[in-house]
Structure 1
């Protein structure tokens, strides 16, 4: 069977979804948090990233078209935007049973992340420097998954963290979109194209997490 036609269809969907995500994601980042532009562009970004991620994963697994780059970006795109969008639900969570699907997503990411680290190490032993990419992104996936699993153990705390979890994951998806753009268009040398968007993205996430950190009540406020 010739898989070229299927590959062209899915890679086209991947490109369209990624392009829409970059535009919608940029609008969502610039727009004031919580207003109508932020919400509407955020939803377009969410569905665009799901389209880009899922189609990228399918395209990367087709016979004669195996592509580790597409698989990694697609996987992280789906995981980050899906868990980031679902984090908005945490504000109203009352029972642990409501987190079943979220736990499945996090545990799946944990095992896949570990597999990426192992595969990356084997790639390094075989002489491929791109093994570092798999190790780094696999490590990021594992850390995110472990953080999610721990957070879901305390429902009361989870309700308070919902916005921080949403911001961190959705921004991570935005970083994945930019990383794909940099790598595909060879904006910078290979390793820099992979890592530079992540470095700036981590700084951006850190800024917003500090900004949304709950203030401790002062002695005067508690009296």
Structure 2
């Protein structure tokens, strides 16, 4: 399973990079985006199982969060605008549970003798727990509004895919820094791809939400 996890991770980074920087709505974006989705589901799912087997609570729940983000991002553009169903309610409940659990892990780490959870400081648990709860709030707003269309629909797709890409990039370049040769195992160097994903996501959100430059097709 570990081999599938590694292969899927590498594939998701390559396909995600293409989808992220390609013209939104174009053929390259759509095809690489679907490869990214499938690879991310395999990577996150296998990663969650491996984390459970190792009793790594934070990594396990991060896998669930990644699956949630990718799935809801895809559903946003794969169905007609202003359409909601029971899947949205189920997804929101998953996000609430994930967010609440991660924040609980963070507080648990603060009160533990080591001050850590799975060898990590509590900050990631608080950050991604908050992301999950904000995503759940977005789900609730979407359902109350009867669905999304236009700019809001595209922005929802972009930020959720971007957040999943950020998690994958951070997990690979920073979480697995020890697998890199010692010559390039330099944190300021390894953080560059992670920051590049974050900055690209911010660029697209500004372009869509503020400048109103919306691609004709996003899928």
TM-score, normalised to structure 2, is: 0.80
**Structure 2: segments with no counterpart, 5+ residues:** 179-184, 213-219
Matched, 1:110 2:99: no
Q: Match for residue 185 of structure 1?
A: 177
| 1:79 aligned residue (57, 68, 80) | 68
Q: Is the 8 A contact 1:76 1:176 kept in 2?
A: no
Give the Å deviation of 1:59: 1.2
Q: Is the 8 A contact 2:13 2:168 kept in 1?
A: yes
Distance 1:128 1:188 in 2: 25
**Structure 1: segments with no counterpart, 5+ residues:** 1-8, 217-223
C-alpha RMSD over aligned residues: 2.5
Q: Is the 8 A contact 1:73 1:180 kept in 2?
A: no
Matched, 1:144 2:130: no
The structure having more radius of gyration, on CA atoms, is: 1
Q: Match for residue 115 of structure 2?
A: 128
Q: 1:120-173, CA deviations, whole angstroms, 9 ceiling, x for partnerless residues? A: 1111111324222211111111111112211221026x1232211111111111
Distance 1:41 1:69 in 2: 29
Q: 1:198-223, CA deviations, whole angstroms, 9 ceiling, x for partnerless residues? A: x654443232122123778xxxxxxx
- The range that moved more, 199-208 or 45-54, is 199-208
* Between structures 1 and 2, the one with greater helix share: 1
Instruction: Show the 5 A alignment for 1:18-167.
Output: 18-62=9-53, 65-89=54-78, 91-94=80-83, 98-126=84-112, 127-129=114-116, 130-155=121-146, 158-160=148-150, 161-167=152-158
Instruction: Show the 5 A alignment for 1:196-215.
Output: 197=194, 201-213=197-209
Q: Is the 8 A contact 1:91 1:162 kept in 2?
A: no
Number of aligned residue pairs: give it: 197
- The range that moved more, 23-32 or 71-80, is 71-80
Distance 1:171 1:17 in 2: 17
Give the Å deviation of 1:69: 4.9
Q: Match for residue 170 of structure 1?
A: 161
Q: Is the 8 A contact 2:58 2:125 kept in 1?
A: no
Q: 1:13-41, CA deviations, whole angstroms, 9 ceiling, x for partnerless residues? A: 21111110001111112221111111111
CA distance 1:146–1:202, shift in 2 (3 Å): farther
